[in-house]
Amino acid sequence: MLALQGDVREHAAALEKLGHEVVLVKRPEHFEDLAAMVLPGGESTTLSMLLDSSGVRDPLEAWVQGNRPTFGTCAGLVMLASTVEDGRSDQKTMAGLGISARRNGYGRQRFSFETLAAIPALGEPMEAVFIRAPRITSVADDTEVLATIDTDHGAEPVAVRRGNVIACSFHPELTDDTRFHALLMEIARSASGAEDH
């Protein structure tokens, strides 16, 4: 998983709990033999800068655009979006998902919240922790909505998938719920199976 900045430890703990080995990616040479990639929560402007200076942006972009198994949360979702609103003008994204994301779309920290997200594809609703979270403002036809929360304007998307790339605007890694991490590894299994045949 990308380990330049952010809540790396929580994601690593979730993956390890599911019995997977975790490689911390900070440099281009760390990309060898990876089955799946996690982009953690953190500060997206900082992460964007560190991607460039560490030389990780190019291999990561190739990874995402090659439809390799990827899961991003919060800042990770911003990195995977096609367009970012209220970002910095020099902020680049990977376009792994057909979505627009607005940074801090729910407001400053005082408005950060917990709620239950409906996630029919994975069963029971999920505890969802939103921290200065990005808001998904549009979803293209090629991208599937996995989870929603209720708002004044009706149900709003908070988790999405396109091909082998998934992302959510909240932080499942801050709870004990590992269903997203399990989904990622399931995607990784079928992707490697497809390659073998």
Partner 1 sequence: MSSDSNTQNSRTTGTFRVKRGLADMLRGGVIMDVVNPTQAKIAEDAGAVAVMALERVPSDIRRDGGVARMSDPQMIVEIQEAVTIPVMAKARIGHFAEAQILASLDVDYIDESEVLTPADEANHIDKWAFEVPFVCGATNLGEALRRISEGACMIRSKGEAGTGNVVEAVRHLRSIMGDIKKIGVADEVELYQWAKELRAPIEAIQEIAETGKLPVPMFCAGGISTPADASLVMQLGAEACFVGSGIFKSSQPELMARAIVEATTHYEDASVVAKVSTGLGEAMKGLEVATLETRLAERGW
Cβ of 141: how many Cβ atoms within 10 Å? 6
Asked whether position 174 contacts partner 1 by CB under 8 A, the answer is yes
CA end-to-end distance (rounded Å), the chain: 27
Eight-state DSSP code of residue 12: H
Could you give the string, one character per residue 104-143, with x where binding to partner 1 holds by CB under 8 A and - elsewhere?
A: x-xxxxxxxxxxx------------xxxx-----------
Which token pair is 48? 């964007």
Q: Distance between CA 183 and CA 110 in Å, rounded?
A: 31
- Strand, coil or helix: 127: strand
Per DSSP, helices labelled H in 31-178 are 44-54, 57-65, 75-80
DSSP string, 35-54: S-EEE--S-HHHHHHHHHHH
Could you give the string, one character per residue 66-85, with x where binding to partner 1 holds by CB under 8 A and - elsewhere?
A: --------xx----------
Give, in order, the Cα–Cα distances in Å from 133 to each of 48, 89, 98, 190: 17, 19, 18, 30
Q: 156, 168, 171, 181: which is the annotated catalytic residue?
A: 171
Min dist. Cβ of residue 191 to partner 1 (A)? 29
Nearer to partner 1, 96 or 156 (CB): 156
Residue entry with tokens 């800068």? 49
Q: Which of 7, 39, 59, 164 binds partner 1 (CB under 8 A)?
A: 7
Q: Which of 17, 67, 88, 120 binds partner 1 (CB under 8 A)?
A: 88
Asked whether position 53 contacts partner 1 by CB under 8 A, the answer is yes
Binding residues for partner 1, total number by CB under 8 A: 47
- Has 171 been annotated as catalytic? yes
Q: Which stretch binds partner 1 (CB under 8 A): 12-20, 43-51, 63-71, 135-143?
A: 43-51
Q: 11, 74, 168, 181: which is the annotated catalytic residue?
A: 74
Give the interface with partner 1 as residue ranges (CB under 8 A).
3-10, 26, 41-43, 45-46, 49-50, 53-54, 74-75, 86-88, 103-104, 106-116, 129-132, 149-152, 171, 174-175
Residues designated as active site: 74, 171, 173
